[in-house]
A and B are shown apart, each in its own frame.
Chain A
Amino acid sequence: MTQFSEPVTTSNEDTYESLISLIENSQEQLALIIVACDDLALRQRTIERYEREAKQSQIRCERIVLGMEPSLRAGLAKLGIENQDGVVVTVTGAEWLLRVKTRATDAQSDLDKFFGYLQWTREGLREFRYPVVLWVTFSILREMSRRAPDFWSWRKAVLRFESEASEESLAKPALGAIVPVMRDLNSLERSFDREDNNDFIPPPAEILSEIHQLESNNPTSPNLATLYAKLAEIYAKRIARGEANNLEEEQQQAIEAFEKAIDRYRELNKQSALASTLNNFGNFLFNISRYIDATDFYRQSLDINRKIGNLNGESISLTGLGNAFDSLGQYEQAIDFYQQSLDINRKIGDLYGEASSLGNLGIVAWRSLGEYQQAIDFYQQSLEINRKINNRIGEANSLNGLGNIYFILEQYERAIDFYKQSLNINYENSNIRDKAISLNGLGNSYYLLEKYQQAKNFYQQSLETKREIGDLNGEANSLNNLGNIYVLLEHYELAINFYQQSLEIARKIGNQNSEANFLFNQAIALDKYKPLSFEALEKLKQARAIYAKLKLDDKVAECDTEIDNLNRIIATEEGQPKEDRNAVETPTIEIVANDTKSAYAD
């Protein structure tokens, strides 16, 4: 890939000279050479270059890639180098260590662990009497002296390589067959009900005790409807936040509470409360991916709102229906409902609603039949309105939507521009939730630009932000996206781990659609990690079963294709080993894109 003779800038060339002489002159002694470099391509070239030169000088070259337990000492010990004459060990992988804790509950992040190991095992390094070239990023370097001071004091030298290439060619690792294609954006990151996760919710027991008291004192009290609706809302929020003690049980309790509230409102003939509760029930079912059931309740809510002439309510129910059909992949119906909702918002002069409906239409337009131009139109209209009414958050949403479109159109630079604008507004307005969405969009763009380091940084920031506000759904998506990065970097074990975490969250909050998506991705990573294991096949089947249950036919078909492929390969490999593997098209990974769908179906 890269020639030795390729000219490097003078200062880097000087640095290279220092490096190679350090390697040659530090044989038979422990020499910790810390090299900072953010340009992964340059690093690759440099490593290849000094290894070639070293080999010419009869120096053995070994490499360590830091993994999930980033212990330098353990890595070196594992190499088991006994004859310590003429060896150089190159250590990479530090650059992929996350600053953020892999799980919110973890005591330490990867990077914490890395520094911890450096700090506490430096004495143990003395037995390795050869030069160790530890590649880090500049930001890690800056932290090292502070966070691993003892290790730092043992350093032999610190070298710095400046980045050379333009951003475009930066950090393109040599990848095998995987080329990620943005194929499916169904598992959208919805800012669906825009409910603030900081809202405090009382324990259900408090409401339950009041209900019991009232039921024994005054079983016909109209307040029971209010209290059951409240109870249902509390369960729904607990589930969405992953706070349910027992998911299935609380889902059941939520459903029962919704049904009781609905029955009572019916008896009391309280139409507007009934419509609103039906809609909330629809939202709840939507959140746990029961899209078809959700449409049923949105429809009932719609009927009542129409009957009592509540136009706002009607528009909200229509949006709910749009969302549900969108998720079911029935885009034409979704467009129809969004359009109706748009008409109402225009009729009642609700500009906020109008902008939001346009945004929804934008999303569905680009997802159905690739009507990008139309989508851009919708987003532009919504952008104009939002600017007119000075709705900054809405403006950020529209910009983000435009970012998405250009992203799909593979105009990543432009997408980045929109995402950045959107991000700025969200920063300005401390709109944390949408900030996380913009960050995720940036991550996606850099990802497809193959600037994985940057992509990783943005995903990481997005992940942190989502954890900050307790947005579990978003957190799962970010973890999934990080998993995607690691697949591309062939760190399959890490990838599988990330998918696993996102999977656990999806299960915790009962989001089956996401669960299936993550299973699918994990299967792909598993197949890479341990080819021919039945585990991948098993995951694919699990994903397929869920898609089938949700009646997401396209997804089912996709799984079938992958399952067939795998079966064929396994059969081939069993019969006659090897080869054909590469002939099979590599499956594409689902990327979780952002969605600023400002569906206010709540």
Chain B
Amino acid sequence: MMSMQVKERLAKAVIWSAALITVCILVLIIGSIMVQGIAKLNLSFFLENPRRMGSEGGIFSPLIGTIYFTCLTMLLAAPVGIGAAVYLTEFTREGPLVRVIRFTTDALAGIPSIVIGLFGFAFFVVFLKPLTGGWSILSGSLTAFCMILPTIVRTSEEAIKAVPEAYREGSLALGASKWQTVLWVVLPSAMPGILTGVLLGVGRVIGETAPLLLTLGGSLLIPHSIFQPARTLSMHLYLVAMETGEFSVAFGTAAVLVIVILLLNLLSHTLMRRLMARIGGR
């Protein structure tokens, strides 16, 4: 029979090592991607188009595709998501409608991305083909919009709720209308938090691949409009690794993705600190 103290120590050692393993896994993944990908990261890798299905050359066209696709998705999702959050927090009370909206937002967040991809294919690519051009950046963005809407609604809601009630009361007391209060007092105070949510959305959009396989087309040509097909960096990574087996290009692409994700993470932390400083933390 072990003494109580030994048991206590042993148990704590196990817990510490579990946490250590978790952190080590992260370091191992990021480390191995960077070590194997960093050699690829030179100017010509960024500025050359892929050749031979991506097994040679650079990542210029997927890079352009990613930028187009991410910007368009966020242009669609940010206003709608923030609008929904403002409605839910400022313009309504708890009631059946709000409960239904919350429930469906949660349900949407839970639907597997591949199923959203199936929907995007059936609806945007096939059904709305005359409007979207079939497989295109627009179809891909609309599909990704459906996927990240819940993320943006929820983080914006949290940010708006964190704005102290006194701000609103002060503004209303000065004779500002409800709308003016929201636009000039509440939203600016909540902005760092809202932007954090938007950045989170950007990260997800850049990393997402499965629904894009069904909607974005995967073309290696540089897209000239949102009605043309394209591919993103994540898609490029997958297609290159699976179809050509050219791991050096895949690792170079993965390293670019990891760097982007790290930067987004850093930026969102800076914003969060600023939000805390602005509204005094909670």
Question: Do the two shown chains form a genuine complex with each other?
Answer: no
